[in-house]
Amino acid sequence: MITPLHEGLVGITTLDPELTARMLRELFALPIPDKSKGTQVSCDLSECVPAVYRADAALLYGDDPKEARLGVIAEVQLEQDETKRLSWLAYIANLRARDKCPVCLVVICPKRRTAEWASLPIETGHPGLTLTPLVIGPDNTPVITDVAEAVGNIGLAAISAITQSKHPEIETILATLTEALNSLDPDVARRYAEYVTVALTGNAQKEMERLMATETYRYQGEYAQSLLAKGEVKSLLIFLEARGIALSDSDRERITTCGDMARLELWMRRAAQVSTAEEVFA
């Protein structure tokens, strides 16, 4: 089942492949060159076999055909699922065949028990062929409370904020992350903040929302505006339905993808006075 936690972790992993590479080099010493460009590639790994195999994310490092490349499959695992241990080897084999490069599997597990399960060797039955997933979990993600350290590895700091969400110093961890995000492009920082916020739960999520509401940094103001816009979109859709104004799929998409508060407010005022979608958007 897709959950906010699942989507948040996938989003953090794929948002900036080069920042993710820093995390992978630090945690697992993966041979990803420092200057290697990373790209997100199709996570549909069904091309080579009739069955459907779809990973959560797939990254490819190295765009120069003359240099070594490395594929990374990222899986988010919230609970134990034995069917995954049967398909993970297929993910590796299919991406390796498709992109003609070595491939490794990284499994992100916010829960310690799930991480322990995911890290168990998978015996394939073939002599000498045993798959041991690389697992990111509470036991191997550091508690990052130093801003300089977080700036140096934003991907790890973001993942750590989630895997360490039950840590006694979670407020300091989140404050460190929000300050470190200011070192990034505001749009990228905002998206990291969104992914972390939706992935957290309970008191940790409330603290992250409180920090983001302070608007100390530019990206926090943009984050706050994005939340306001989402609320305005929801209100507009409810109001249009209550007024009996029919919307086509394109009309609905036009509203849900609008991040301009002034335009949304204009449409809301018009919706109170007209009877058709065409008049709302006129």
* Amino acid at site 167: H
Whether 31 is covered by a domain: the verdict is yes
198 located within any domain: no
Do residue 235 and residue 122 come from a single domain? no
Instruction: Tell whether 135 and 239 lie within a shared domain.
Output: no
H-type helices in 100-185, by residue range? 112-118, 147-152, 154-163, 170-180
Give the span between the Cα atoms of 281 and 274, in whole angstroms: 10
Residue 41 Rama label (left phi>0; alpha psi -120 to 50; beta): beta
**126 and 12 housed in the same domain:** yes
Query: Tokens for 25?
Result: 């080099």
- Is pLDDT above 80 for 230? no
Q: 159 to each of 35, 45, 131, 156, 215, how far by Cα in Å?
A: 22, 25, 24, 5, 22
Which domain does 45 fall in, by range? 4-140
Instruction: Fill in the DSSP letter of residue 171.
Output: H
pLDDT of residue 222: 66
Cα separation, 126 vs 118, in Å, equals: 20
In this structure, are residues 117 and 133 in contact, taking their beta carbons and an 8 Å threshold?
Answer: no
Work out how many domains the chain is built from and give that number.
2
Residue ending a domain, choose from 98, 125, 140? 140
54 located within any domain:
yes
Burial label for 185, CB within 10 Å (0-12, 13-18, 19+), is: exposed
Residue 177 lies in a domain: no
Please tell me the predicted confidence (pLDDT) of residue 237.
84
Q: What pLDDT score was predicted for residue 209? A: 86
Question: How far is 33 from 13, CA to CA, in rounded Å?
Answer: 18
Q: Which of 143, 102, 106 is nearest to 9 (CA)?
A: 106
The pLDDT value recorded for residue 45 is 63
Q: Cα 217 from chain centroid? A: 22
Do 133 and 9 sit in the same domain of this protein? yes
Say whether both 130 and 252 belong to one domain.
no
- The larger pLDDT score, comparing residue 22 to residue 273, is at 22
Residue 38: inside a domain, yes or no? Answer: yes
Contacts of 43 (CB under 8 A, 6+ apart): 54, 55, 56, 57, 58, 73
Helix (H, G, I), strand (E, B) or coil at 6: helix
Last residue of a domain, one of 123, 140, 157: 140
Indicate the average pLDDT of the chain. 87
Question: Structure tokens of 231?
Answer: 């609320």
Give backbone dihedrals phi and psi of 185, rounded to 5 degrees, phi first: -55, 135
The string of pLDDT tens digits covering residues 249-259 is: 888 888 887 77
Within a domain: residue 255?
A: yes
Is the Cβ–Cβ distance between 236 and 256 less than 8 Å?
A: no
| Tokens encoding 50 | 């009739």
Residue 112 has pLDDT above 90, yes or no: yes
Question: How far is the C-alpha of 138 from the C-alpha of 125, rounded, in Å?
Answer: 30
Strands (E), 34-174: 38-41, 57-61, 70-76, 103-108, 122-123, 130-131, 134-136
What is the sign, positive or negative, of the torsion defined by CA atoms of 12, 13, 19, 24? positive
Q: What percent of the chain has pLDDT over 90?
A: 49
pLDDT at 50: 45
Q: Are residues 112 and 236 in the same domain?
A: no
Q: Tell me the β-bridge partners of 131.
A: 122
Task: Using the 3D structure, point to which of 76, 105, 140 is the last residue of a domain.
Answer: 140
Res. 240: pLDDT tops 90: no
The answer to whether residue 213 sits within a structural domain is no
Lowest mean pLDDT among 146-160, 198-212, 231-245: 231-245
Residue 151 has pLDDT above 80, yes or no: yes
Residue 276 in tokens:
């058709």
- What is the pLDDT averaged over residues 10-25? 92
Q: Nearest Cα to 219, choosing from 181, 252, 174? A: 181
